[in-house]
A and B are shown apart, each in its own frame.
Chain A
Amino acid sequence: MENCCRQICLTAIMLLLTTSGIAQSAALSERVVAYQIEGAYNANTHTLDATEVLTYTNRTGTTLSKFPFHLYLNAFQPKSTFMTEAQQTGINGMGTDSGWEEKRFGSNEVKSLEIVGSGDVTKQIKFISPDDGNADDRTVFEIALPKPLPPNQSVQFRIHFVAKFPEVVARTGYKRDFLMAGQWFPKVGVWWNGTWNCHQFHALTEFFADFGTFDVKLTLPAKWNVGGSGVMTGAKDNGNGTQTVTFHAEDVHDFAWTADPSTKVVEDSIRLSSGTVKIRMLMQPGHMSSAVRYMDALKATMRKFDEWIGPYPYPQITVVDPPHGAVAAGGMEYPTLITADTAWLMPKSVLIPELVVEHEFGHQYWYGMVATNEFENAWMDEGINSYMEAKVMDALYGKSTSWVNSRLVTLSERGMYRTEYAPFADRDPLSRQGWLFLDDSSYGGNNYGKTALVMLTLENLVGEKTVMRGLHAYFDRYKFKHPRPQDFTAAMNEAVGQNLDWYWKQAVDGTEILDDRILTASSERADWYNKTDEKAGVTVYRNTVIVHRRGTFDLPVLLEAKFDDGSKVRERWDGKDRWHRFTWERKAKLVSAEIDPDHGYPLDRDPFNNSWTAKADGNASTKVAGYWTLLTQWLALVLSCLT
């Protein structure tokens, strides 16, 4: 009886554990990959010697006979496509005059590759360059399977590799003892749109990978603070000056980790609709004054996303604060791990720490969960995330002060995006593949700036709540998937209840520029032939405003005219022609006329020509010209040190 009871109790406990285990690991994504990586980091050579066991489950619905893999760290080699592009455009501090040093080279070397059950295929590794045919680029290799893999079957790759990290460059690498390990292991491509999608590592573009699980076991110097994607499941001091830490992450498509002996760990938690989420921050000792700023911004951002977009389903978020010299590793997103950016003397009025944390956390949704192809559709993660950044930062820090909020000057998210976008408005369409953009300014100005402005302008067309509802629906439908641009626009059209393809065609596929202006405005006597004196409130005036569509972007125009009797009128023009004349006959003269009076078209490249006032006000021109005069005076005084 006692045995029986014990048996029942044990069975019940087992059932409970099993059930809770299932609940914990209930797949949120279609888990295509399962990575088990075990490696040892040598802090002296900045290398990681590791073995990766990748189990790939074929969920493509088609038989696969070959597999492409990324070896991103090989981008940091002299003849790589990444380096060639970086030198051409001088980005990432890698222009031809940047004095590239040996320490900034990195590599990823596959020592052996075995297909479990089929034997070693190392010699069959073939480097390919699907994007530019650069035979010297070794960031993608391909392997043919001895036996094709039918649908719903799995194949296991065992890869022994050595990753050599560069001194921090383009998001990854070491700086003194600090290490940010991103894109460090051989990563399989994505079967997408009926073919393998595995692009070379480009200077401008980011990444794309399949969802799955990661079990990572790392041996590194003892007493170093370590952080990684997912959660740390174990840490053991090996007693020989090393420690071994293990991490587990699921329903993510990448794994990054960091180690540094000097970081300080700050921990907290937040209660969201998905449950309690642990926040773990690895701070540089000299940046502790930013810890509270990071934490406050992160918590507020998490609440906004929880409220507006959907729940954050992971148990933890890790924030890594890189040291000063490793700023290239800052401001980057990985699943459940983000890197921040600050300085030891960061003024409170400059909201960079808040903004970076907000932006990178936003990527947990737009990249992390809604895993778009960052190579081909950068606007879908960076751009939509930039729009969310504007919404969250505006809500938290004020619409006109969400970037800089000092007594002297202010800067808003919208202002920043407009400034980024305006000079590059006619360079590249959003739909262009990332590495084909003219340069990093056009890439940033369009993918980040333009997309945010497109979404903010859309708010004015369909309503702010409707856009947010559309984003929420898009997130719900495509979380843990790889949506395409047409999936986004279709989801938005559906949520809005209108076919907005005319808008997307101009905004996403085209380089049309929105620039409506007031060409002329006047108030003339309607009875111009009458010689009597004009009388206020009696004389009838023909008030005319001509609006000119100077750009090529078709949008309906809302015009507000104000009159000297205090009245005002708002009228619409469908914007289908090059110009339109608005006329009002009334016993009052025009005081002002303004296109887009609610300032809801931030996509308009030139806001100065959107309005007209009957009375000229020289305050602004006097002020700007006055400051220029002062600058010239002071320049003269500085140069006069020679006299």
Chain B
Amino acid sequence: MSFLIDLLAASLRNATPLVYGTVGETYAERSGVLNLGIEGTMYAGAFAGFATAWATGSPLIGLLAAIIVGVLSGALMALMTVTFGANQHVSGIGLTIGLIGLSEFVNRLIFQGGELQRIEPMPAVSPFGALELGEAGVIFEQYGLTWLAFLLVVPAAWWVLQRSSFGLEIRAVGENPEAADAAGINVARTRYAALMIGGALMAIGGAFITLALLGSFTLDIIAGRGWVCVALVIFGRWRIGRGVIGALLFSLVFSLQFRLRILPEFAALPFELLLALPYLVVIAALALSGRNVAYPGAYLKPYRRS
């Protein structure tokens, strides 16, 4: 019982960066831009958040710094793909290479490769602490950013995208920019906004790892989580709700293997195969749906007014 409760609590915790990243990438892709800068944006968010929190002593200021870095990263991606109309995937890879390099460069300058610096991580909060849940209460002892993700960011991001006029504009410029332009929507401005919001969310996802989960920054801290988010967006068919379910499923498998691999009776299991599942599932799902994959209409296409 306690194993199960512990597992569920860890799944919610580990899903948090993926949820932020997946929602952020969904915003970018629904506006018509595949942002492969996500891995670098999460990395830069993780580093900027940590370094700022370490310097100021305040995780909240760290979070703010991460958000600023994320917005700037989204703006740079927009400059490349919207203003210049450059190749989206090459731009995204360039952004990722550059941001990881820059983060590690500044990390080296500040900390000189000395011993690992730590900050006091953000505390876990249990808003339902007053309720008598017994052992199961552990599930609800989560970081503020986890609560924020599931209770506020996901519903709000869904509502904005699906119900607000701004969300309609994002979807319109992602499906058919020519028609959106004819209807008086500013295609460039809308894509800039979607990429900057998406970048902020990705960076928060990265910062969650350093500011809450670990309280420290180590190299390769994102370790492909950004690519997992790219997979989850497709797994969720560009829907926020389904993407979040995908993040929870992946996180459940991840947390489970993490707990099993330290037990001697499971030592022989190929855990790497479990970790490869989300990627393989997405590729299999793409293969099975064949020609019916409903990509956003303007996926990978720059828009230039003729």
Do they bind each other? no
Interface set of B (CB-CB < 8 Å, partner A)? none
